[in-house]
Amino acid sequence: MYSEDDLLPLSALQHLSFCPRQWGLIHLEGIWTESVSTLEGRFLHDKSDDYGAETRTDIRTVTGLLIRSLRLGLSGKADVVEFHRKRESGAVTDGTVRIPGARGFWIPYPVEYKRGSPKKGQWDEVQLCAEALCLEEMLQAVIPEGALFYGKTRRRHAVSFDAELRGETERLARRMHEMTLAGITPRAEYAARCNRCSLHTECLPKVTGVSRSASEYIARSLVSTKEGR
């Protein structure tokens, strides 16, 4: 169990899952560059950032909910958490929650807003799963599923919190704490996605990559210059 002082930002898991070096540049070195993509993403999040709640029939929606997990050492703010009323009719209600002033049993359903469209990687799913794990710990609930809402498609993408995704999320949370204590920004591992990263200029993945060194880069550049004369 972690203490309150040890909690790390839950949203950083998305950066670590996407690229360990990007995580290091942002969260260890404090480097951040706005781009059209990051501005669009921030605008989408701002729309659900303030705390609020409303109930419509069998769904109660809460926005800007502060969440945490002392077990994982994470804290953050959930964009949207829906509470779906569970049909009782003799069904087992274990893992559900009660809402003050509302009848029945409810199942938490986190929804995270993202720009663009569904990704090939699972970094968005990891962040959403971390939110679910926080809610489970706080509410003593069982949350089987949540959703990612993408701004480009304007559609929800359902995410099942299966054992594999939960395991990967917990592994990344442990790794993030270890890397924070070490305080060392990982070297780059160049990939096609690097060209779309807002920190491409600060990272210089082709220069600082694992398989390359600055001295090798300079040496090759000097050779190319001589040959071009």
Q: Nearest Cα to 107, choosing from 90, 87, 133?
A: 87
**Residue 142 CB neighbour total at 10 angstroms:** 14
Inter-residue contact 205 to 194 (CB < 8 Å): yes
Q: Which residues contact 227 (CB under 8 A, 6 or more apart)?
A: none
Q: What is the mean pLDDT of residues 202-229?
A: 60
Looking at residue 36, its pLDDT comes to: 42
Q: What is the mean pLDDT of residues 90-119?
A: 84
Inter-residue contact 221 to 61 (CB < 8 Å): no
Looking at residue 156, its pLDDT comes to: 94
pTM of the shown model: 0.80
- Predicted confidence (pLDDT) per residue in 121-143, tens digit: 899 999 999 999 999 999 999 99
Q: What b-and-e string marks burial along 12-50, b requiring 16 or more CB atoms within 10 Å of the CB?
A: bbbbbbbbbbbbbbbbeeeeeeeeeeeeebeebbeebee
- Tokens encoding 102: 């509302």
- Predicted confidence (pLDDT) per residue in 8-23, tens digit: 999 999 999 999 999 9
Average pLDDT along the chain: 84
Share of the chain above pLDDT 90, in %: 55
Q: Residues 18, 9, 44, CA angle at the centre, nearest 5°?
A: 70
Q: Can you say how many angstroms the Cα of residue 92 is from the centroid of all Cα atoms in its chain?
A: 32
Inter-residue contact 145 to 159 (CB < 8 Å): yes
**Residue 60 CB neighbour total at 10 angstroms:** 18
Q: What b-and-e string marks burial along 155-177, b requiring 16 or more CB atoms within 10 Å of the CB?
A: eebebebeeebbebbbebbeebb
